[in-house]
Amino acid sequence: MFQVIPAVDIQQGRAVRLFEGDPKRETVYFDEPLQAARHWIGHGAELLHLVDLDAALGKGDNSRLVEQIAGLGVATELGGGIRSAAAARRWLEHVSRVILGTAAVTQPELTVQLLEEFGPERVVVSLDARDGLVAIKGWTETSSVDAFELAGQLADQGLRTLIYTDVTRDGTMLGVNAEPVERMRAAFPHELLAGGGVASDADLDLYASLGLDGAIVGRALYEGKVTYPRTA
């Protein structure tokens, strides 16, 4: 069944959404991220997508808040600044699964190590791309790595859950750009989640029609532009 996963992005202690990943272009939806988490759990969320934006940007972290949300009893996945085996191990004591972003590009051996140590149920990779190239370091840099080629390599290495985000659409509510999503679906044969640009139920229907397993939704969900919980 296609799942809609609420995103709780944390910056400077608040639940926010960024426009195209720009930390200076934020919209604050909850002053307390714990309130955001409880809100979505109250609406039936079974999994929360947490991102520590400060950790991703190397400007501190929101560990206490993440731990509080993880303690609410719902499944959680966490991304943002997890760039070592030690960090992953620490967080896997609290969250259901960790999300590797930059590290999947700059330290490919780390993904393999964590998959072997914890299994594919607890390790996710997020490929966030601009024009097909993976963005890294909190999306502040664009690498020369082809997102679709890397997706195929990760599948060969044992990865079973991949998140694809179109950085140029993220937080914009401009609608989903289908072409790169189709390419990613072709490149990665396992569980595929996507985000970036969702503006309406039609975008969720598009994802589902392309064979995706779910969508990570932020701004459109917070602003009531999509139906939640989704029943089909």
Cα dist from 126 to 3, 32, 77, 103, 201, whole Å: 17, 25, 11, 10, 23
Question: Is 9 in the active site?
Answer: yes
Among 9, 166, 170, 203, which one carries the catalytic annotation?
9
Burial class (CB in 10 A: 0-12, 13-18, 19+), 94: middle
Question: Would you call the peptide bond into 108 cis, given omega within 30 degrees of 0 as the criterion?
Answer: no
d(CA 106, CA 200): 35
Among 54, 128, 166, 170, which one carries the catalytic annotation?
128
**What residues have CB less than 8 Å from 77, skipping those under 6 apart?**
47, 48, 49, 50, 95, 96, 97, 98, 99, 124
Question: Is 203 in the active site?
Answer: no
Active site residues: 9, 128
